[in-house]
Each structure stands twice: as C-alpha cells, then as structure tokens.
Amino acid sequence: MIMFKGLISIFLAGILTENFLLSKFLGICSFLGVSKKLNTSVGMSAAVILVMLISTAVTWPIYMYILMPLGFDYLETVVFIIIIAALVQLIELLLRKFMPPLYNSLGIYLPLITTNCAILGITTLVIDNTLDPMTNYGFAESMTSAFGSGIGFLVAMVLFSGVRQKMETCDIPKFLQGLPITLIAASLLAVSFFGFQGLVDGMLG
C-alpha cells in the first residue's frame, strides 16, 4: 500500500508540480513548434509518451545491470543517446510494418523525437533519482515517473494549443507577434501550474 501511494505521488508530481514543459523546460522546441493545433499536439505527445516509456524501460536495466557493475557509468550520455536514436528508428520501422494506421498518425513526429531533450532528460533523471538515496527509485518508480512525465507533457501541450487557438483572433502589437507573445502566454500558463504546488504532498501526505 505504501509503495502504491509512492507511485501515485510520483505520477501526479510528473503531471502537475514537476511538469516537464512548464517547470523543467524539457522539450520546449516541440512545445513551441507543434502546439498550434490540437491534433498535432496530441499526436506529438502520444509519440513522446510512447518513446519515453520504451526508452526508460530499455536504458534503466542497461545502466543498472551493465554499465554500473562494469564501471562504465561515465558513458551514460553516449550510450543513452545512441540507444534512443536506435529505438526511435526501430519503433518507426515496426509501426510502419505492423500498425500502418498508428504510423500514419504518429510517424511524422518520430524523427523529431530523437533530439527532443524530454526523452534524454527522463532517462537521465530516473537514473539520478535511482542513485539518490533520498528518492531511491526502483524500476517501477522509474517507469511511473516516465509515464507521469509523458502525461504531463500531453496536458501542457493540449492546454497550450487551446490558448494559441484563442490567440489567433487577438489583435497583438506588431513587435510582439509570433514568438514573443507565445512565450508570454506560456509564462502565464506556467504561473497557473504553480497553483498545484503542495497539492500532491497535501493529498497523500
């Protein structure tokens, strides 16, 4: 029961208080680039969730059972990025062969994901949390953290695409048009996420 509680709090923290986009600034390129429409936001987020889960499931055991015991932990960054790049290619091939409908909706986002910092970010972060005696994640916690962060990514993308669709009909001063007003809107969205501060601890504490 205690473990279950821990998992829920990790999951909720990933969505609300430690949102990848709005408080950790990971994956901002795609946040600004493809959040113009609701369907592209959802597609991109779904691809991110898929790759986050699969790459965490692969990199965590590799780090804990191969790199660490052999003393190669300084190769973490190199090994992880190569694994992620290979995985993304593999997922793309498999989807194209076996699930064409899913490939048609997610396929175009996959090439963007290799260099998305959210993916390398989550794999590095769960390793840091595993080695940290304060948090001491296991495999289950790491996967929950990856899933929660992915859902958090989705929530922020969907909310922001709504904001941007409203913004299209607004009369914006010329020098603020485009990127500046988008960033300022993101700033206000990030402020609203501060409202969740303490919620997770308060609910389960």
User: Is 95 an interacting residue with respect to another protein (CB under 8 A)?
Assistant: no
Candidates 50-58, 75-83, 95-103, 142-150 — which segment interacts with another protein by CB under 8 A? Answer: 75-83
User: Is 183 an interacting residue with respect to another protein (CB under 8 A)?
Assistant: yes
User: Is 72 an interacting residue with respect to another protein (CB under 8 A)?
Assistant: no
Alpha-carbon span 176 to 171, nearest angstrom = 10
Contact 110, 141 (CB under 8 A): no
Q: How far is CA 49 from CA 3, 53, 93, 165, in A?
A: 23, 6, 18, 24
User: Is 120 an interacting residue with respect to another protein (CB under 8 A)?
Assistant: yes
Residue numbers 40-59 binding another protein by CB under 8 A: 40, 44
Report which secondary-structure segment, H or E, holds 75: none
Q: Cβ of residue 138: shortest distance to another protein, in angstroms? A: 20
User: Is 112 an interacting residue with respect to another protein (CB under 8 A)?
Assistant: yes
User: Is 125 an interacting residue with respect to another protein (CB under 8 A)?
Assistant: yes
Distance separating the N- and C-terminal Cα atoms of the chain = 14
Residue numbers 3-42 binding another protein by CB under 8 A: 22-30, 32-34, 36-37, 40
Q: Nearer to another protein by C-beta: 80 or 147? A: 80
User: Is 96 an interacting residue with respect to another protein (CB under 8 A)?
Assistant: no
* Residue 196: DSSP 8-state: G
Exposure b/e, 12-33, CB count within 10 A at least 16 = b: bbbbbbbbbbbbbebbbebbbe
Q: Nearer to another protein by C-beta: 3 or 29? A: 29
Q: The tokens of 60 are what?
A: 């965590």
Transcribe 12-52 into DSSP letters: HIIIIIT-TTTTS--SHHHHHHS-SSHHHHHHHHHHHHHHH
Q: Cβ of residue 28: shortest distance to another protein, in angstroms? A: 4
Interaction site with another protein (CB under 8 A) = 22-30, 32-34, 36-37, 40, 44, 74-78, 81-82, 85, 108-109, 111-112, 114-117, 120-121, 124-125, 128, 168, 175-184, 186-188, 190-191, 193-194
